[in-house]
Amino acid sequence: MKQRAWVALAASLACVAAGAALLREGNGSGAMFAVEAARPAAAATSASATSSPRLAIDAPARHRSSGANDPGPTLPLLVITGSEPPRRDGVFTYYPVRIDEKQARAAMKGGRLSIPTPDGSRLDLAFEHAVEHGNGNWTWVGRLDGQDNTQRAVITFGPDATAATLPDADGQQRKLTIQGGQTYLVSAPLSSLHVGVNPLGDTIKPVGVPGAGLASTGALDNTLGVPLASGQDANGLKAPSAAGPTTVDVLAIYSSGFRQAKGSTAAAITELTNRFDVANQVLLNSQVNASFRMVRAQEAQAPDDTDNTQMLDAIRTSTPWVQTLRDQVGADLVTFVRQYNAGNNSCGVAYIPPGNYAAAGDLMYSVVSDGSLPTGYYCEATTLAHELGHNLGAQHNHEQDATGGLFPYSYGYRNFSAQFYDVMAYGPDANQRFWTFSNPQVQCKGLPCGLADYADVARTLRLTMPIAAGFRASKTR
């Protein structure tokens, strides 16, 4: 991390120590933020080894396309209603819509799903797969014809509302978002948008904490900190064997402001579920046989307008109830999600493990900002995937950060001539973001999405995700 970033971090930690502008529990415990008292009873019940909390997401059950050549009928997902006039918020325009969930179910049987746009065009989406979550939410995933790993339509249907990340098309960014319990189709010209990245970076590599040193004795991989598997050399060239897909359990803490903006707890959970499904789509595109599972979503009273680095440190060091809840629900990773605010100074921040990965479980924390500002600055739907990637040992592209990756190849990828970059890389707004972790075996614009032994985050995740999945014993069936 650059020197200026460390200076900023030091200042942030000083603010934490002073308790500046932070909400605390009224019982004098000094915790960073309090668990919201008024929450569903099921959400207040700790997960156990035999049952999951109501808000837990079960292991994703996928329903895949039949693969038939006949595209079938094209079914409209939504209607832009006249219940209220379109609303402008800076560069963004919000159109109230009515969703027909039955059409999405029908399109799973060989048809296509159509999303009418305000300009009279439409997005026609071919079904790929669906994910049933068992908590009142399910997600439909599809793609535009001819599209590669650029983006997907990831549409999450919940009890109260629908949230969706949609492919960019016709020079417009479009999404379905929830405000006050109402689903809106939001549209903005791509030329007016800017990703809210911090040029100083969004990773913290702690010193003097567990996981901060390299293992140096015994038959250990010096970076992974685990016994070497048969055929695996000291550079981790072979992933630990696994019986099947790896599931990494994540505790998602979200701010009261995030819930209030969405209109209900259920709507907030639907929006969070969508971001996890986007992250899992990135893993799928990257040919990583693993997934993230949100085992608990817990509201907390916390400000939405403080620096993300300050919040990250507070979550890990000043909120004992978070650590207790993490242990109770068996979460390998913890993320805190809140409404994007200019005071965040970034769209997210995370600890990146500095070696001996098997001992880095206590560093598995991240902060994610979600949403947009009227000025056109916004946080991408892949921000959660990006920050969790840091926890798993992935760094930005080499041009952005020359050090910090867990392995020499644990870096994102940016192709300057072809003008594209992956989920972990930094790139200009005019370039194309591909929904993949760097992988030289995957194609982006007909070119490799990485370089062997230089930019191959997928290879890194195949090594670290099985280890991360053991940071806490799973309490979810």
Per domain, the residue ranges of the chain are 61-189, 195-468
Q: What percent of the chain has pLDDT over 70?
A: 76
Inform me whether the pLDDT recorded for 276 exceeds 80. yes
Residues 28, 88: Cα–Cα separation, whole Å? 43
Q: Which residues contact 14 (CB under 8 A, 6 or more apart)?
A: none
With bands split at pLDDT 50, 70 and 90, how would you rate the model's confidence at 34?
A: very low
Inform me whether the pLDDT recorded for 127 exceeds 50. yes
Residues 392, 410: Cα–Cα separation, whole Å? 10
With bands split at pLDDT 50, 70 and 90, how would you rate the model's confidence at 48?
A: very low
Q: What is the dihedral of CA 307, 310, 315, 320, to 10 degrees?
A: -130
Inform me whether the pLDDT recorded for 251 exceeds 60. yes
Residues 368, 376: Cα–Cα separation, whole Å? 18
Q: What pLDDT is stored for residue 71 in this prediction?
A: 61
Look at phi and psi of residue 315 and say left if phi exceeds 0, alpha if psi is from -120 to 50, else beta. Answer: alpha
CA atoms within 13 A on the CB side of 390: 30
Phi, psi of 99 (to 5 degrees): -100, 135
Q: Is 216 helix (H, G, I), strand (E, B) or coil?
A: coil
Residues 267, 41: Cα–Cα separation, whole Å? 17
- The overall average pLDDT reported for the chain is 81
With bands split at pLDDT 50, 70 and 90, how would you rate the model's confidence at 166?
A: very high
Note the helical H segments in 61-217. 101-107
Q: What pLDDT is stored for residue 63 in this prediction?
A: 59
Inform me whether the pLDDT recorded for 233 exceeds 80. no
Kind and range of the H or E run holding 153: strand 153-157
Which of the residue ranges 44-48, 81-85, 438-442 has the most confident prediction, judged by mean pLDDT?
438-442
Buried b (16+ CB within 10 A) or exposed e, 189-210: eeeebebbbbebbbbbbbeeee
Inform me whether the pLDDT recorded for 231 exceeds 80. no
Kind and range of the H or E run holding 112: strand 112-116
* Average pLDDT value for residue range 134-141: 94
Q: Which residues contact 335 (CB under 8 A, 6 or more apart)?
A: 250, 251, 252, 253, 365, 366, 367, 368, 384, 387, 388
Q: What is the dihedral of CA 79, 80, 84, 90, to 10 degrees?
A: 150
- pTM for the model stands at 0.83
Kind and range of the H or E run holding 87: strand 87-89
Inform me whether the pLDDT recorded for 374 exceeds 80. yes
Tokens of 199: 């040029």
CATH numeric code, 195-468: 3.40.390.10
